[in-house]
Amino acid sequence: MTRLKYLGLALVAGLAAITLLSGCGSHNRSYHPQAFGENNRCYYVNDISEVRLLQGDGRCQASWTPYPMPLTWRQRYDDYYGSPDYYTRYVVVERRTVYVRAEDDFRRVNGPAISRERTKATYADDKGKKYTGPDVQKSRSATSSGSGGLGGGNRSGGLGGGNRSGSGSSRSSSSKTSAGR
């Protein structure tokens, strides 16, 4: 083989390895807030039905009271609450389109505060290891292809799938939102 063919094969093999490894990183790292509420309150972003799903997933204790998410908490963990990791699991299908639109508005209005607050965030991975906001950002950029984990991927993706609302209906007429929204 000529030198050019070897170089071409090495390039293809290298790109394949990078693609394979970056895909593994995005699936192995999934971050979520260390807690989904505090003081016996389970926080929801827009609709109380989120609490039922959070409790069903073990993220909040069943005895905790549903409570609108405080503005600073929402800003601090916006990377998670604005990601498909949250809304495809904890927002009923009927509310997702509205949720994503409201999230875009929230980010536009609260951008500077989100930047300040995210540095105070404490996340955990699926194995229980804790990370601070800056650690998550570094880890995400080093291990993820940007298509998973915390806040990655197409923000409008998954709006029609993943129905987890089989145990009740959503309050689609609800106008309750978190503070500052």
pLDDT score of 126:
80
Q: Which helix (H) or strand (E) holds 12?
A: helix 3-28
pLDDT score of 131:
84
Name the more confident of 27 and 77: 77
The lowest-confidence range among 53-57, 118-122, 177-181 is 177-181
- Residue 175 pLDDT class (50, 70, 90 cuts): very low
Given 3-state DSSP classes, what are the helix, strand and coil percentages for the chain, each rounded to the nearest 5? Answer: 50, 10, 40
Give yes or no for residue 158 having a pLDDT over 80.
no
Q: What is the mean pLDDT of the chain?
A: 72
Counting Cβ atoms within 10 Å, is residue 92 exposed (0-12), middle (13-18) or buried (19+)?
buried
Q: Where are the domains of the chain?
A: 3-143
